[in-house]
């Protein structure tokens, strides 16, 4: 691809409402082109460098700013490492934007993402690419529909070379984002698409938050609520219904106590600032000094609860990996959330992403297992 004119651009896109940015092919290295719907996205600026085309702009619907980096990474390990450094510089420059980096990275994150004759990947290459993703703070989205995205034509090798990486701001705006591998035709690469579609697979499991136990009102709240419930029936039913009601009450309590921690912290800081200003001019009386110390203690308590929440979500030792404001820590939380997301169900070796169909298959599987257990169960008369 040496150049792209109107005829080529519109032919590739399949319509007239299109704009693009590209980098010409150099030798055997193919060119790179990024195209977008001119009615949906407005480009503010675009530029290219060796191995990448960068487009800055915003969605016309709501003005959301984005930076999209289309990459075609080099093959040599040393060149790749230099390329990762250049991409990291772009991420730092566009830190205030929602960033999406996608394309052919020519690298895998671990050996399970390559099979065949070339399965013995260069360890230096694998570690460098994995470190790049971790250092960048980007989220490696789960891939639906495929395990590999590149297939050698002679069938001797297959790898996961293509992927889409997004930053935390992108996840916050579009939390249901995922990448999906599509069918390929004559190309040895599979096209991948980024989508943002949430699906309800059923109620989420209830989880106890460790930070609750640090709140002075938690124990009394649970005891009072538990004693308030009036349910009739046999013991197992009463216990189940009480837990069900307690779960809803705890969710509401959590929203009211922990849902606005930043506002509470800022409110306490404002009070301390007022007392400090008064101390600078007129001095403080004893009760005002006590109040200022109390506000400081409340801030410390809120910060500790906040740290506990983040720690439980990430399930990692933040004392070793950085404080809770670090890009690493919040990225780890988003990675874990994406890793635990239900993308579909596989029952009897049949994969589905349709919620209703998946639930029907799940019920059939449960019924089958229940009948199997009953058939093998020994029952004693008493």
DSSP secondary structure letters along 257-312:
HHTTHHHHHHHHHHHHHHHHHHHHHT---HHHHHHHHHHHHHHHHHHHHHHHHHHH
Instruction: Give the span between the Cα atoms of 204 and 226, in whole angstroms.
Output: 22
Instruction: Give the span between the Cα atoms of 13 and 17, in whole angstroms.
Output: 9
What pLDDT does residue 86 have?
A: 95
Burial 318-351 (b: 16+ CB within 10 A, else e): beeeeebeebebbbbbbbeebeeeeeebebeeee
Instruction: Give the span between the Cα atoms of 46 and 76, in whole angstroms.
Output: 27
Cα torsion 133, 134, 137, 140 to 10°: value is 50
Opening angle at CA 242, ends 240 and 246, nearest 5: 120
What pLDDT does residue 288 have?
A: 87
Helix (H) or strand (E) holding 23: strand 18-23
**Which residue positions in the chain have pLDDT lower than 70?**
1-2, 28-29, 117-121, 198-206, 259-260, 307-349, 351-382
Cα torsion 168, 171, 173, 178 to 10°: value is 150
Do the strands 192-196 and 177-181 form a parallel or antiparallel pair, or are they unpaired? antiparallel
Question: Which residue in 196, 180, 87 sits closest to 142, CA to CA?
Answer: 180
DSSP code of residue 189 = B
Strands lying side by side in the sheet with 177-181: 143-144, 177-181, 192-196
Q: Where are the alpha helices (DSSP H) in the chain?
A: 6-13, 77-93, 123-136, 168-173, 218-228, 235-258, 261-281, 286-314, 318-321, 327-340, 355-375
In the chain the first and final C-alpha atoms are separated, in Å, by 82
Contacts of residue 263, Cβ cutoff 8 Å, sequence gap at least 6: none
- The length of the chain, given as a count of residues: 382
Instruction: Give the span between the Cα atoms of 70 and 26, in whole angstroms.
Output: 16
199 near 164, Cβ under 8 Å? no
What pLDDT does residue 321 have?
A: 45
What pLDDT does residue 267 have?
A: 82
Instruction: Give the span between the Cα atoms of 343 and 337, in whole angstroms.
Output: 12
pTM: predicted TM-score of the whole model, two decimal places: 0.58
């Amino acid at each position: 691809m040496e150049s792209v004119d109107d005829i080529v651009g519109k032919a590739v896109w399949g319509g007239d409402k299109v704009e693009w940015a590209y980098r010409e092919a150099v030798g055997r290295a193919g060119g790179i082109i990024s195209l977008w719907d001119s009615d949906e996205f407005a480009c503010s600026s675009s530029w290219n460098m060796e191995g990448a085309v960068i487009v800055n702009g915003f969605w016309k619907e709501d003005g959301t700013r984005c930076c999209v980096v289309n990459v075609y990474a080099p093959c040599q390990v040393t060149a790749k490492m230099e390329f990762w450094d250049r991409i990291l510089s772009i991420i730092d420059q566009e830190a205030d934007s929602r960033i999406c980096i996608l394309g052919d990275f020519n690298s895998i994150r671990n050996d399970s993402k390559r099979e065949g004759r070339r399965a013995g990947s260069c360890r230096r290459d694998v570690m460098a690419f994995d470190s790049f993703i971790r250092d960048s703070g980007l989220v490696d989205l789960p891939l639906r529909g495929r395990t590999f995205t590149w297939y050698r034509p002679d069938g001797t090798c297959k790898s996961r070379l293509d992927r889409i990486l997004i930053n935390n701001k992108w996840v916050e705006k579009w939390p249901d984002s995922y990448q999906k591998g599509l069918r390929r035709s004559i190309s040895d690469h599979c096209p991948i698409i980024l989508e943002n579609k949430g699906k309800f697979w059923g109620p989420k499991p209830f989880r106890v938050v460790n930070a609750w136990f640090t709140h002075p009102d938690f124990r009394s709240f649970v005891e009072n609520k538990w004693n308030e419930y009036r349910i009739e029936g046999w013991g197992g039913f009463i216990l189940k219904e009480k837990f069900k009601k307690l779960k809803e009450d705890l969710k509401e309590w959590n929203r009211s106590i922990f849902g606005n921690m930043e506002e509470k912290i800022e409110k306490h800081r404002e009070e301390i600032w007022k007392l400090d200003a008064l101390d600078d001019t007129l001095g403080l009386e004893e009760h005002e000094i006590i109040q200022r110390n109390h506000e400081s203690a409340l801030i410390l308590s809120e910060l500790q609860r906040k740290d506990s929440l983040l720690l439980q979500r990430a399930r990692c030792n933040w004392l070793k990996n950085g404080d809770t404001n670090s890009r690493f820590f919040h990225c780890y939380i988003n990675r874990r959330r994406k890793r635990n997301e239900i993308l579909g169900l596989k029952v009897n070796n049949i994969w589905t992403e349709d919620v209703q169909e998946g639930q029907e298959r799940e019920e059939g599987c449960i019924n089958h297992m229940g009948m199997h257990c009953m058939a093998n169960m020994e029952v004693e008369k008493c």
